[in-house]
A and B are shown apart, each in its own frame.
Chain A
Amino acid sequence: MVDSAVITEEVQKQGSTLLQRLLRRQALWVTVALIVICILMGFLSDSFATVENFSNVTLNFSFIGIIAVGMTAVIITRGIDLSVGSVMGLSGVVCGLVLASGAPIEAGIAAGLLSALACGAVNGYLIAFLNLSPFVVTLGMLSIARSLALVVSNNKMFYEFGPDEDIFVEMGGGSLLGVSNPTWALLILALIFGFMLNFTAWGRHVIAVGSNEQAARLTGVPVKAVKMSVYLLSSLTAGISAIMIVGWMGAVTNALGMTYELRVIASAVIGGADLMGGVGSAFGAVIGAALIEIIRNGLLMAGVDPYWQGAFIGIFIILAVLLERIRHRREE
């Protein structure tokens, strides 16, 4: 009898903590906000709740969302990757250059992804093995990769993509079952990352490194390899996004991805990735990117001057971090 009483009490405790835990997830609140904004916009504007606008919005946030997934991994380890916009530029230009030279599509994609991974490897090495600050290293890479994009492209635009041009353009610009290909890419990436984060030792280690690096080291977590892996992942997602966006636009210049790092970081943080480390989710990255794009879209439709966009994104980043800080303080 005593035992069963204890057990029901346990179950009740578990249940309430589960609900509490869910309510504490920022991603949930962002989802609620997203739905509310969508409903409001639907009432306010006739052109908002159309299939056309919906696919437009999803396409727009897919390119950002893909990189936000990689950024979330970095932020969970208590790092930051400021170089993703520039890496995107370099990767897109390299891919365009190789394709324009008449190489097959596989070669172009491989070249684009490898150039991105090379940037990630340099970032990861300097941060994981030489213990340099992620902020400084990736700020340096932001400048280096953008400059390399200029050097590689020689300030030319590429718009002819060789023998496999049709496939390449279809890959970024096409759609399947009414959903654009970049959105598929985002969904698949988010699912894989969500799975890895929750169901593999790598995922636990990523969280452990951001939560308490010293504890992770003492218990035998390969801290350096974990850090290396997240910067590689972040660059890889920048490369994937670059290749898809180049296909979709049908052209690439060395300005590709300029200032994207801000929107990517904003997406991850709004989606609940904690800059203090240890917290973040794949779902959050997607939903954060979606919220920013919906609001941007809504402001445009409401006739707000697009020059204000940067200000709104900036305000969102600051608000998200402020909320996080308030929450931390309440917990203490």
Chain B
Amino acid sequence: MSTETHQEDCALGEPFLELRCIHKHFGAIQAVKSVSFTISPGEVIGLMGDNGAGKSTLVNIMAGNYPPSGGEIYMEGKRVHFSKPVHARKNGIEVVYQDLALCDHLSAAHNVFLGQELKKGFGPFRILDSETMYTVAGDLFRELKSETRPRDLVREMSGGQRQAVAIARTRLNSARLILMDEPTAAISVRQVSEVMELIKRLQHDGIAVLLISHRMPDVFAVSERIIVLRRGQIVADKPIACSSPEEVTGLITGAIERA
């Protein structure tokens, strides 16, 4: 864990986020073992691994949802402890959770704004500004080329529309890093390409993205770097140009030990 190796990793300048030797166990299960990597501003990283490799656990740690059992997280060189998801959000980290974290009984727009509702009026008489929330959410859905209607209840929505709601939520604040846990698992081919376009736009705006996906072509289309996780450990962390889908498949399954 010497500092020199880290500086080598970050050819793009000071990393936005750095994980050092992160561990996480649930009882006897070691979900994440000694994971270290950095994320630079505007960098798109593909994170791949088999089911149960520990990808979601890692996302939950970076999002402040699970406390790590061991290890340290640094943000722009400063040690941080996210004890609540709100802390991570305040520090510019937004998340698309694998299960999407939506409330079926609320409208799409109210889900997008959940926990950060727009209000109007003064003091104790502040009420929801639902009209503006509908408008803003509608704009975000249109930007994602999704037919999601802001007033519809989430329980009535298709998988793709639900995913659009979860992604739209990350666009409200000026995020600097967006963690996407399988954001394209339930959507159509056309919508997948919209998400890929969005990731490219985010990158262009200097927003880093950690993309977890099982879809090899998508990961190779947008990522600059690839990290492969196997049984909680990093077995590869390299520029995507130096890798290939065949190599990544081998790394995921264990046919290739390390790269």
Contacts and interface: CB of A to CB of B under 8 A. Distances in A.
B200 to A, nearest CB: 26
Contacts of A210: 105
Interface string B232-254: 00000000000000000000000
Main DSSP-derived SS at the A contact region:
helix
A14 B103 contact: no
Interface residues of B, number: 32
B205 interface: no
B101 A215 contact: yes
Nearest to A195: B127
A217 B104 contact: no
Interface string A44-80: 0000000000000000000000000000000000000
Interface in A192-217: 199-201, 203-205, 207-208, 210-212, 214-217
A217 B85 contact: yes
Nearest to A331: B155
A265 interface: no
A211 B101 contact: no
A278 interface: yes
Nearest to B151: A14
A7 to B, nearest CB: 12
Contact of A218 (B97, B104, B116, B155): B97
B128 A200 contact: yes
A217 B110 CA distance: 15
B86 interface: yes
A198 to B, nearest CB: 8
Contacts of A21: 153
Nearest to A213: B103
A8 interface: no
Interface in A167-213: 199-201, 203-205, 207-208, 210-212
B110 to A, nearest CB: 5
Given A199-B128, A201-B119, A201-B128, A215 B105 contact: no
A199 B85 contact: no
B172 to A, nearest CB: 11
A211 B65 contact: no
A220 B127 contact: no
Interface in B94-113: 95, 97, 100-106, 110
Nearest to A76: B105
Interface of A: 10, 13-14, 17, 21, 199-201, 203-205, 207-208, 210-212, 214-221, 278-279, 331
28 contacts: A13-B149, A21-B153, A200-B127, A201-B119, A204-B110, A204-B117, A204-B128, A207-B103, A207-B105, A207-B106, A208-B106, A208-B114, A211-B104, A211-B105, A211-B106, A212-B102, A212-B103, A212-B104, A214-B101, A215-B100, A215-B103, A218-B85, A219-B85, A219-B101, A219-B169, A220-B116, A278-B103, A279-B105
Interface of B: 63, 65, 84-86, 89, 95, 97, 100-106, 110, 114-117, 119, 126-128, 130, 149, 151-153, 155-156, 169
In the A-B complex, list the 10 residue pairs whose CB atoms are closest, starting with the nearest: A220-B115, A278-B105, A215-B101, A211-B103, A219-B115, A220-B86, A211-B105, A219-B114, A201-B117, A199-B127
